Amino acid sequence: MSLHFLIVGSGFSGAVLANQLTQALDCKVDIWDERPHAGGNCHTERDEQTGIMVHQYGPHIFNTDKKEIWDYVNSFGEFKHYVHRVKALSKGAIYSLPVSLFTINQFFGKTFTPAEAKEFLQGLADKTIIDPQNFEEQALHFIGRELYDAFFYGYTKKQWGCEPTELPASIIKRIPVRFNYDDNYHTNEYTGIPVDGYSAIMQKMIDHPSISLTLNKKFTAGMDTSQYTHVFYTGPLDAYFEFEYGRLGYRTVTFEKFYAEGDHQGLSQMNYCDEEVPYTRVVEHKHFTPWEKHQKTVYFKEFSKETGPADEPYYPKRLQHDKGILKQYRAKAESLSGVSFLGRLATYRYMDMHHVIGEALSFAENFVKALKTGQPIPVFSNTEEL
């Protein structure tokens, strides 16, 4: 029987999988995406007025420690070196983020050396918290109350719409604390921005005579997919099951767009940490491509809110309640055959691009191996730790 696969969703998961399946097997791949463009939330497009490359769903900076993933993405287009530097506005002053020696000295009006700052912060850290169980405890354990209140409490409440005590500790572990003047927002070895945007990279991944992409095509679980050997679903897990056990909590982002002459804020990302400011950050995209010259600028204020039925899901909340529902959906998915689930939305995890790509690569390898050896096909791209 000839192999014919359906991939639902054309973000990085879908694009990498299609690319890998056509490399490894003699097969046909159909990709459906319900949006009018490919690329999922990594979609990029040049702004009509200014010509600036805009990350349509918020800033995406490619970072990884894995050379093989870096080499893989670079094989689909040129990336230029880009170091993400973020500033934060808190109570009327601008600071360097992540929390570094510079932030500590600025914030406390000190001239500490690295060793002095470390000792000072140890004095501020909440020692009563031995094993941090949530975002707030983790933050207090790391940096103490003052820095937490200034940079994390308000921003996090706006971003996630709940008390930071309800959120997993893992979220704050995304951001380092440094005792030097390194202001790189990320810690990974390889970092860059694709010269022609992420959409061009994904387009190249699926540029194959056996891959066909259909846009504006919505998938519903009741559809007849019997002509396909296997279906790979990268959309929201709860939507696949028509929300039978309820909705998984997601935050979504809305954007307010502004134009200006020259340079609006002097860097790509300014965070607004005070709870009273309604937006979380302002992102000015021309600074992601400093090698390009643009007279005008375009920038976006980002507002976070709960995801309603008509909104795009962005950030999985993974509160206790969500984890209970997730467990039910996963159990139901495991009982099906002919369909696998992968990617940020289908596994309901806060994943960066390099996580998504790495997982899609290994999932494709496992799938091909299982198919060739007659072993059971993996249902999920991850093993869930609830």
Instruction: Cite the active site residues.
Output: 174, 178, 251, 281, 302, 350, 352
Least distance from C-beta 27 to ligand UDP, angstroms?
34
For residue 12, state whether it binds ligand UDP (rule: CB under 6 A): no
For residue 191, state whether it binds ligand UDP (rule: CB under 6 A): no
For residue 140, state whether it binds ligand UDP (rule: CB under 6 A): no
For residue 147, state whether it binds ligand UDP (rule: CB under 6 A): no
Q: Which of 271, 297, 381, 382 binds ligand UDP (CB under 6 A)?
A: 271
For residue 159, state whether it binds ligand UDP (rule: CB under 6 A): yes
Please identify, among the stretches 9-17, 49-57, 149-157, 236-244, the one whose residues bind ligand UDP according to the rule CB under 6 A.
149-157
Angle CA(4)–CA(9)–CA(10) in degrees, nearest 5?
Answer: 95
Are residues 8 and 235 in contact, defined by beta-carbon separation less than 8 angstroms?
yes
Nearer to ligand UDP (CB atom), residue 53 or residue 273: 273
Nearer to ligand UDP (CB atom), residue 241 or residue 315: 315
Which of 380, 352, 353, 350 is CA-nearest to residue 367? 380
Residue 227 has φ and ψ, to the nearest 5°, of: -75, -10
Least distance from C-beta 58 to ligand UDP, angstroms?
7
Which of 160, 6, 188, 157 is CA-nearest to residue 81? 188
Nearer to ligand UDP (CB atom), residue 151 or residue 228: 151
- Residue 281, exposed/middle/buried by CB under 10 A (0-12, 13-18, 19+)? buried
Least distance from C-beta 158 to ligand UDP, angstroms?
9
| Per-residue binder mask for ligand UDP (CB under 6 A), 164-183, x = binder | -------xx-xx--------
Residue 235 has φ and ψ, to the nearest 5°, of: -85, -175
Least distance from C-beta 281 to ligand UDP, angstroms?
7
Tokens linked to 348? 């309901």
For residue 145, state whether it binds ligand UDP (rule: CB under 6 A): no
Site size with ligand UDP, rule: CB under 6 A? 13
What separation in angstroms does the CA of 2 have from each of 44, 83, 227, 339, 373?
A: 35, 46, 10, 17, 16
Least distance from C-beta 293 to ligand UDP, angstroms?
27
What separation in angstroms does the CA of 286 have from each of 76, 110, 151, 267?
A: 22, 34, 25, 9
Which of 270, 273, 292 is CA-nearest to residue 80? 292
Least distance from C-beta 136 to ligand UDP, angstroms?
10
Residue with tokens 């990279």: 201
Helix boundaries (H) for the chain: 12-24, 67-74, 101-108, 114-124, 135-147, 154-160, 198-205, 237-240, 320-334, 344-347, 353-373
Are residues 142 and 125 in contact, defined by beta-carbon separation less than 8 angstroms?
yes
Nearer to ligand UDP (CB atom), residue 124 or residue 175: 175
**Amino acid sitting at position 58:** G
Q: Which of 12, 76, 79, 152 binds ligand UDP (CB under 6 A)?
A: 152
| Per-residue binder mask for ligand UDP (CB under 6 A), 67-106, x = binder | ---------------------x--------x---------
Q: Hey, which residues between 345 and 384 contact ligand UDP (CB under 6 A)? A: none
Binding residues for ligand UDP, rule: CB under 6 A, are 88, 97, 151-152, 155-156, 159, 171-172, 174-175, 271, 273
